[in-house]
Amino acid sequence: MPLDLDITRFANLALDPQDDGVWVVTLNRPHKRNALDLATVEELVDFFSTAPRAGVRAVVLRGAGDHFCAGLDLIEHHDADRSPADFMHVCLRWHEAFNKMEYGGVPVIAALTGAVVGGGLELAASAHVRVMDETTYFALPEGQRGIFTGGGATIRVSDLIGKARMLDMILLGRVHQGQEAVDLGLAQYRVEGSSFDKAMELARRAAENLPLTNFAICSAISHMQNMSALDAAYAESCVAGIVNTQPAARERLAAFADKSAARIRPNS
């Protein structure tokens, strides 16, 4: 049964559903450079838990203002003076949100601008596609702040750029930007204009795929990365058994068979 995504229950996220099923999700605390406080993380959990069953076809995730996300709300963390157990539970909520994003089955395209730092990079790394513009830069300031990553950077950032480069970023505060960031794998796209416009274009294209196909792409691949090759191959065959025989695919396959479907050509 479809779930309800009532946008009025969200305060720190601004939600803007489009006609084609693409939802624009904006981190909406620009006065705090979209730092992630607990309330925002709970809204991310809520949205990304609900989206796969609410008819959301793709998500563009962006930050209001000049910066995508300044990471952990350091002021909230400072003022709360948390115990180790408290902060472990904070991190578990971050993981809940980011896992729902990565494994939820709905394509998430991050439109990056300005600072994508600390927990902001952990958030961006949980998206399936990252688009950066000329203002975007990536860093892990945890080393200098006297803290450590707690939102999955050890897994996702090292998956993107490798352990040695992640160590360099967090130990030495190295900042990556421009083409170098794309070459390292921090973003798949870099645009001179608006990363949001490009992300919308990509999200609309992804939303044209069948939802069950996108579910497999944006869930199964991540799950299979965590398995042995033997188990991943088995799981892949099970997923393909379901997805590749879905009734909705017959029309597309028939179009290929009757030569009305577009052929794949190199970029001109």
Catalytic residue IDs: 122, 142
- Give the total of residues touching ligand 1HE (CB under 6 A): 23
Indicate the residue among 24 and 91 with the shorter CB distance to ligand 1HE: 91
With both helix axes pointing from N to C terminus, report the angle between 84-103 and 38-50 in degrees, rounded to the nearest 10.
30
Task: Name beta bridge partners: 111.
Answer: 131
Q: Is 33 in the site for ligand 1HE (CB under 6 A)?
A: yes
Indicate the residue among 58 and 111 with the shorter CB distance to ligand 1HE: 111
DSSP 4-35: P--GGG-SSEEEEE-TTSEEEEEE--GGGTT-
Indicate the residue among 67 and 198 with the shorter CB distance to ligand 1HE: 67
Task: Name beta bridge partners: 190.
Answer: 132
Q: Is 151 in the site for ligand 1HE (CB under 6 A)?
A: yes
The amino acid at 230: L
CB under 6 A: which stretch of 44-52, 69-77, 123-131, 216-224 binds ligand 1HE? 69-77
Report the residue from 71, 105, 107, 211 that binds ligand 1HE according to the rule CB under 6 A.
Answer: 71
Q: Which phi and psi (to 5°) does residue 176 adopt? A: -115, 140
Indicate the residue among 113 and 214 with the shorter CB distance to ligand 1HE: 113
Q: Which residue has the tokens 């539970």?
A: 89
Q: Which phi and psi (to 5°) does residue 14 adopt? A: -100, 125
Q: Which residues bind ligand 1HE (CB under 6 A)?
A: 32-33, 35, 67, 70-75, 91, 94, 115, 117-119, 141-142, 145, 147, 149-151
